[in-house]
Structure 1
């Protein structure tokens, strides 16, 4: 018996993780039989996982084939607008409800992540972990659920804005300002700091796309 074999109902999480890691990138075709073989499971849970991901717009269909979705300019802009407002609300609620232990974890994350500024992919993973910690510190389960969906969709962007030169250092400074405001229990400052942080990331992303269009 293979104790390392993933549970039969875990295909959804495995595909999501592969998209998040960049193993499956926007435009890649996902084949049910290939995924079943890769994950060591039957095709039924894989088929159900693909159907679920399609309903969430993380996959798109072309005829009988399913592909990892790609976001166009308008979809990206809409996503950032929603993310900016929801993240700001999470910071506001974290300033109100976070325990001292949760604040300490956020402070330690910022300190540890300073060492990753020259590794965009590692910093991107740490960035997501940092934001998820703020979501949890909001102590609002419905907000956490909505932000989880937003961050899943963010994985459909082929590159990270943290890869732009200098953005990693600035993002870390912004993270520090967010945590400082949460630690002071300053709800307005925390919301504004996170709102401005997402806006800065959006500006960087727009510049990335503009440069990409110019080269193509």
Structure 2
């Protein structure tokens, strides 16, 4: 199925092709995406309504999150991700659990490598837990949260040593899901997100000191 302009622009932001503060020009987007300007214009309007884009004079730029917005986003993400893990421990099929375990095993090959690849693998892992919750409404809400995560200028995997720690945390989450222990899965994932938030704040603070 061919993707629409909205999805293509959203994926470009998520992939880091367009970063917070980058200006989006309707004509340039239409040429890059190979579509007419009308669907691009409609997509930009929709993204502005969803606060993914903001106005800078007459231009539309990719929005950024301030400290308070970041804290609010992580507060919501922590609870929703924890709930997804709890439900996955109850409802995940044996096949879904094996896929999750395989992801953790495969991701060990990425340790010490490109933070962007690690971030992509991390998103894939979390998305699989969302699906394993077997709750479509929760998945929809988590999709909204992760869409806003694309407005962060960097990944917490850029911090030294975060990749090994995060993978160990993923292993702990899977162990709880494998044991069908909903409470343990909930707590393990909440702690994982809390550590990621703490790391991100440290990375951001370091960037501010070097400016």
**SS, match of residue 4 in structure 2:** helix
Distance 1:177 1:199 in 2: 15
Separation (CA, whole Å) in 1 of partners of 2:101 and 2:49: 37
Paired residue for 2:46? 52
Q: Does 1:115 align with 2:109?
A: yes
Aligned residue pairs: how many? 210
Summarize deviations over 1:170-191 as a string: whole Å, max 9, x none.
0000000001100100000000
Query: Which residue of 2 is the match for residue 205 of structure 1?
Result: 200
Instruction: Give TM-score, length-normalised by structure 1.
Output: 0.95
Q: Equivalences for 1:98-109 in 2 at 5 Å?
A: 98-109=92-103
User: What is the DSSP-based 3-state SS (H/G/I as helix, E as strand, rest coil) of the residue aligned with 2:54?
Assistant: strand
- TM-score normalised by the chain length of structure 2: 0.97
Structure 2 residue 20 is the aligned partner of structure 1 residue 26: yes
Counterparts of 1:129-144 in structure 2, within 5 Å, are: 129-144=124-139
1:191 to 2:199 alignment: no
Counterparts of residues 1-216 of structure 1 (less than 5 Å):
7=2, 10-118=4-112, 119-216=114-211
Partner of 2:20: helix, strand, or coil?
coil
Extract unaligned runs of 5+ from structure 1: 1-5
Q: Describe the superposition over 1:83-142 as per-residue Cα deviations: whole angstroms up to 9, x where unpaired.
A: 000000000000011000000000000000111122211010000000000000000001
In the TM superposition, residue 52 of structure 1 has moved relative to its aligned partner by: 1.0
Cα distance in structure 1, aligned partners of 2:49 and 2:84: 26
Deviating beyond 2 angstroms after TM superposition, the runs of 4 or more aligned structure 1 residues are: none
